[in-house]
Amino acid sequence: MHIPIYEYIDLYNGNSFFGKYGETINCQSVNTGLFTAVKDLKAVDWISVGHDHNNEFYGEYEGIKLSYGRKTGYGGYGPRNLLHGGRVLEVTAEPYSIDTWIR
pTM of the model: 0.89
Taking the CA atoms of 58, 60, 61 and 64 in sequence, report the sign of the dihedral they define: positive
Report how far residue 66's alpha carbon sits from residue 95's, in angstroms, rounded to the nearest whole number: 21
Domain assignment present for residue 28? The answer is yes
Around 61, how many Cα atoms within 13 Å sit in the side-chain half-sphere? 24
Could you tell me the residue range of the domain that residue 54 belongs to?
7-102
Encode pLDDT of 3-36 as tens digits: 999 999 999 998 899 999 989 999 988 899 999 9
Domain assignment present for residue 25? The answer is yes
What percent of the chain is helix, strand and coil (3-state, nearest 5)? 15, 25, 60
How remote is the C-alpha of 71 from its chain's centroid?
A: 12
Domain assignment present for residue 1? The answer is no
Encode pLDDT of 50-64 as tens digits: 898 889 999 999 999
Domain assignment present for residue 41? The answer is yes
